[in-house]
Structure 1
Amino acid sequence: MENLGKIKCFLLDMDGTINLGAKLLSGSGDFINYLKESGRDFIFVTNNSSKNGRHYVQKMRNLGIDCSSNNVLTSGEATANYLNSLKPKAKIYLIGTPDLEEEFINWGFTLTAENPDYVVLGFDMTLTYEKLVIGCDLIRKGVTYIATHPDFNCPTETGYIPDCGSMIELIKASTGKLPKIIGKPNDLIIKSAFRKRPQYKLEEFAMVGDRLYTDIKAGVCADITSILVLSGEAAMKDVEESDVKPTFIFDGVATIYQKLKEADETK
């Protein structure tokens, strides 16, 4: 496990990888604590753009994991980061929640429907018909169209609810246009993590998650180490049938913790 021992920053999916809903998965606390003790780093990477980093910091703290906003990257932040790299202080028509609006304002963007540089679609749980009408009109006029992530559904305690991908399809039906997408499985969200941690080399990052078609594919697309954990959605059968191949496969993050310790002890 020499290569695993060289990883300095772990990009971590949450649900199915670190936790299942309001329950911490076995070994997750030990894993995070060992990363800190051994001088390693971590970022929780989520496609959900309806909440900001503060929400996930509190969620992790409630589960017993101490972290800060510097340890969280949402697709909303990644989208703001990406657009800031293209045009700082741009004018944006944003279809998103108040949390996402706050994220973009904090990055220095102006939120407006008057001659915007970009239309940005997030997972908008406050979506209105008026927002759709304005957004579709701007998109038809040729304003550059960006979406935070492609997930069709968001899992909740009571079942699935329509996510950003469903809204993308609604807008496509009206305008015929598809957006540039930032979140997993696209590598732009991983590149945003790189900008968040510029001190590390490419080979010192690893993406860890339980979904082949989002988490692992994002790692593969970004050309970094990818680690599939079998504690959530994916099973070995899925790996055998998929053309997306992770660098490592473990039962869960508890196994990563043990393998890291072994690698460190043999240095």
Structure 2
Amino acid sequence: MTPDQAFDRYEKIRDRLPAAPQGGDGIQIAGLHELADQIDVFVFDAFGVLNVGERPIPGAHDRVQQLREMGKQVLVLTNAASFTRAQTEAKFSRLGFEFAPSEIISSRQVCEAHLASINPNGQWGVIAPPDFFPDDLEVDALALQGDQNDYDQVQAFLMLSAAGWNADRQTLLRDSLRRTPRPLVVANPDLVAPREDGLSLEPGFYAHELQDQLGGQVIFHGKPFASVYETVERRFPDINLNRIAMIGDTLHTDILGARARGWRAALITDHGLFAGLDVHKFIDASGIAPDWIAPSI
């Protein structure tokens, strides 16, 4: 999928995304240090902001450290739901970032906290990466692959990752949900993610395809949906929300979700979804405008 195709798909599902006020001013800045007098909490997306695939973005380490030295709070808010908490922490360590465990919030972590209330006693069919272990979750879990009986026997579905997912398995899931509607929970609402070799299809892509075909509601945890932003806000109960800034590379997830919560938002343009493109074209077409635009953090 190309960036233009991804943008068009986001626009087609716009009515399923949170509503937000009119966009910000889109002021061009050289880097986040220019916002020190306006922002107290900097919340970073990962892909396209801190790293691209397994590569840290040049200058990202130094900027995070500079913000710390300015007395700012820094957090990571990532939709990467393939990893356990320990794996997520190890990933950022490998990339050279010195984030404390409490500074990393993943959509999977938030999602897992809601599973028991959705399907308290039944088994979950999990769409997960190949190295997934059912014991990684605190619910009764079964990894779904190519056996139709597995899809039909579970009481709810959880989509963590699209790694290894394919059209045949998507059909098995769709047909099983058509026969017996059950909850579908998605811990990564992204349609695509930037990699070294292009954009990968993510769980949100497949979930919205199912919603197109079957109707009904999918339960999403992750940007731009409220539960992950609420998790951040609980860390800072006394802060004015317009002193929190989301730093991301996508309009329909990072920027839209933040503005729907009353946060400020900075769009990073040189490394993620809009790398090499005229971002203003997409801002004008969507009406989603950040408060600031920077080439890198």
Q: Which of 125, 141, 145 is 1:111 aligned to?
A: 141
> Are the structure 2 counterparts of residues 100 and 75 from structure 1 closer, same or farther at C-alpha, using a change threshold of 3 Å?
farther
How far apart, in 2, do the equivalents of 1:36 and 1:72 lie?
15
- Whether the 8 Å CA contact 1:50–1:96 is kept in 2: the answer is no
Q: Which of 107, 112, 116 is 1:80 aligned to?
A: 112
The gaps in structure 1 that reach 5 residues or longer are 254-267
How far apart, in 2, do the equivalents of 1:211 and 1:130 lie?
28
How far apart, in 2, do the equivalents of 1:168 and 1:222 lie?
24
Aligned to 1:54: 86
- Whether the 8 Å CA contact 1:47–1:183 is kept in 2: the answer is yes
Aligned to 2:75: 43
> Are the structure 2 counterparts of residues 136 and 38 from structure 1 closer, same or farther at C-alpha, using a change threshold of 3 Å?
farther
Matched, 1:121 2:165: no
Identity rate of aligned residues, in percent? Answer: 19
- Report matched runs for 1:213-224 at 5 Å: 213-224=252-263
Q: Deviations over 1:86-132 (max 9, x none)?
A: 56966451423255855532xxx34368774x432222435597897
How far apart, in 2, do the equivalents of 1:90 and 1:251 lie?
48
Aligned to 1:9: 41
User: How many Å apart are 1:51 and its aligned residue?
Assistant: 1.8
The gaps in structure 2 that reach 5 residues or longer are 1-32, 143-149
Q: TM-score, normalised by structure 2?
A: 0.67
- Whether the 8 Å CA contact 1:52–1:74 is kept in 2: the answer is no
User: How many Å apart are 1:174 and its aligned residue?
Assistant: 6.6
Q: Which amino acid aligns with 1:152?
A: L
User: How many Å apart are 1:18 and its aligned residue?
Assistant: 1.7
Matched, 1:188 2:224: no
Question: Higher mean Cα deviation, 180-189 or 207-216?
Answer: 180-189
Matched, 1:179 2:179: no
> Are the structure 2 counterparts of residues 103 and 68 from structure 1 closer, same or farther at C-alpha, using a change threshold of 3 Å?
farther
Matched, 1:248 2:292: yes
User: How many Å apart are 1:250 and its aligned residue?
Assistant: 2.5
Aligned to 1:152: 191
Aligned to 1:164: 203
- Whether the 8 Å CA contact 2:39–2:244 is kept in 1: the answer is yes
Question: Higher mean Cα deviation, 1-10 or 39-48?
Answer: 1-10
Alignment root-mean-square deviation, CA: 3.5
> Are the structure 2 counterparts of residues 111 and 53 from structure 1 closer, same or farther at C-alpha, using a change threshold of 3 Å?
same
Q: TM-score, normalised by structure 1?
A: 0.73
- Report matched runs for 1:57-72 at 5 Å: 57-72=89-104
> Are the structure 2 counterparts of residues 134 and 227 from structure 1 closer, same or farther at C-alpha, using a change threshold of 3 Å?
closer
How far apart, in 1, do the equivalents of 2:74 and 2:198 lie?
30
- Whether the 8 Å CA contact 2:110–2:221 is kept in 1: the answer is yes
Q: Deviations over 1:157-212 (max 9, x none)?
A: 444443213432564477444412222222332223334x2455333421111211
- Whether the 8 Å CA contact 1:57–1:72 is kept in 2: the answer is yes
How far apart, in 2, do the equivalents of 1:95 and 1:70 lie?
26
Question: Higher mean Cα deviation, 136-145 or 9-18?
Answer: 136-145
Query: Which has the bigger relative contact order, CA under 8 A and spacing at least 6?
Result: 2
- Report matched runs for 1:83-98 at 5 Å: 83=115, 86=117, 91=122, 93-97=124-128
Question: Higher mean Cα deviation, 1-10 or 156-165?
Answer: 1-10
> Are the structure 2 counterparts of residues 121 and 62 from structure 1 closer, same or farther at C-alpha, using a change threshold of 3 Å?
closer
How many residues align? The count is: 247
How far apart, in 2, do the equivalents of 1:227 and 1:90 lie?
42
